[in-house]
């Protein structure tokens, strides 16, 4: 009986080509979306290269700046997030860096990083109403009250720690100044007011969080839902790496990691150097 082909003769026939429009490779030549990689190097920022890969074109200057701000916004959030604890718990076992990063990425679940995509969907539902003639406030009320009536949290709002998320505020301010905001950001802001009235007193607001800001901006610049979530993954991978590396550098192997016992001993608060302002 040996050797003989294994597998389906029917599928074996399907030797047809499949297509990819991302990168063309030939000996000594690498074209990403048509641009020579060695021409991109030194000419574009990493944020631009990421946008080019995902969207197919280099971004105009305003979008380039907001994409970079999004990528910087989520680069780390200390030792508390479950994904970071995952990376540290893998690192403490002596596993390689790649394993810690991969495991950390798996810790971006529906409740952690998943708000970007969920919020984009809610915004799209509301904007479907707006485009059909419903005023913004009414559309916001429909989606907010509808979500709350199902006993669910409205994605893109609230944070277990921050009552006013500094990253969200900065992103929304930049999107205003760079004139990239549109109907998604507008609806998100109306939803914030509706949600404030619906649930809480003024002393206890449910503000837009960083995921909500990223979702609305990504919607306004025309990115696919999945890419909103993708920007969060890309942004946080360096944070996972920094924590996995620090874990092995500073702590003993196989320790029991209690997130509540972490004490910060890095540099005190400092301002950016003059040239950076």
Two tokens at 33?
């979306």
114 or 134: whose CB is closer to its own copies? 114
Stretch touching its own copies by CB under 8 A, among 122-130, 134-142, 190-198, 236-244: 236-244
Q: Report if residue 86 touches its own copies, rule: CB under 8 A.
A: yes
Nearest approach, Cβ of residue 97 and its own copies (Å): 6
Residue of 131, 152, 222, 226 that binds its own copies (CB under 8 A): 226
Token pair belonging to 115: 């708000």
Q: Which of 135, 163, 193, 197 binds its own copies (CB under 8 A)?
A: 163
Nearer to its own copies, 127 or 229 (CB): 229
Pairwise CA distance, residues 227 & 54, whole Å:
7
- Measure the CA–CA gap between 47 and 69, rounded to whole angstroms: 9
Judged by CB under 8 A, does residue 222 bind its own copies? no
User: In which element (H, E) is residue 29 found?
Assistant: strand 29-32
Which among 146, 218, 155 is positioned nearest to 192, based on CA atoms?
155
Helix (H) or strand (E) holding 23: strand 23-26
Nearer to its own copies, 93 or 137 (CB): 93
Site for its own copies in 13-72 (CB under 8 A): 14-47, 49-50, 53-54, 56, 58, 65, 68-69, 71-72
Tell me the closest approach of the beta carbon of residue 138 to its own copies, in angstroms.
Answer: 30
Q: CB 139 → its own copies: shortest distance, Å?
A: 27
- On the 0-12 / 13-18 / 19+ scale of CB atoms within 10 A, 104 is buried
Query: Which lies closer to its own copies via its Cβ, residue 131 or residue 164?
Result: 164
Judging by DSSP bridges, how do beta strands 23-26 and 35-36 pair with one another?
unpaired
Contact in structure between 125 and 112 (CB atoms under 8 Å): no
133 binds its own copies (CB under 8 A): no
Residues within window 181-220 making contact with its own copies, judged by CB under 8 A = none
């Amino acid at each position: 009986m040996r050797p003989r082909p294994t597998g389906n003769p029917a599928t074996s026939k399907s030797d047809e080509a499949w297509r990819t429009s991302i990168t063309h490779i030939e000996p000594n030549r690498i074209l990403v979306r048509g641009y020579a990689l060695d021409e991109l190097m030194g000419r574009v920022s990493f944020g631009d290269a990421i946008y080019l890969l995902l969207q197919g074109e280099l971004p105009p200057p305003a979008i380039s700046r907001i994409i970079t701000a999004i990528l910087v916004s989520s680069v780390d959030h200390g030792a508390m997030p479950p994904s970071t604890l995952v990376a540290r718990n893998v690192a403490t076992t002596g596993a390689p860096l790649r394993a810690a990063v991969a495991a950390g990425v798996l810790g971006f679940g529906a409740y952690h990083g998943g708000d970007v995509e969920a919020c984009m969907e809610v915004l799209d539902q509301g904007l479907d109403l707006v485009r059909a003639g419903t005023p913004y406030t009414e559309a916001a009320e429909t989606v907010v009250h509808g979500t709350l009536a199902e006993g669910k949290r409205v994605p893109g709002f609230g944070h277990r720690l921050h009552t006013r998320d500094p990253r969200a505020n900065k992103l929304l301010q930049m999107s205003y100044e760079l004139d990239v905001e549109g109907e998604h950001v507008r609806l998100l802001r109306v939803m914030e007011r509706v949600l404030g009235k619906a649930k809480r007193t003024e002393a206890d607001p449910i503000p837009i969080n960083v995921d909500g800001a990223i979702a609305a901006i990504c919607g306004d610049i025309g990115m696919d839902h999945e890419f909103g979530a993708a920007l969060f993954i890309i942004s946080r991978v360096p944070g996972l790496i920094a924590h996995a590396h620090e874990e092995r550098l500073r702590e003993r192997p196989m320790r029991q990691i209690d997130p509540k016992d972490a004490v910060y001993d890095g540099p005190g608060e400092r301002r950016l150097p003059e040239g950076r302002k």
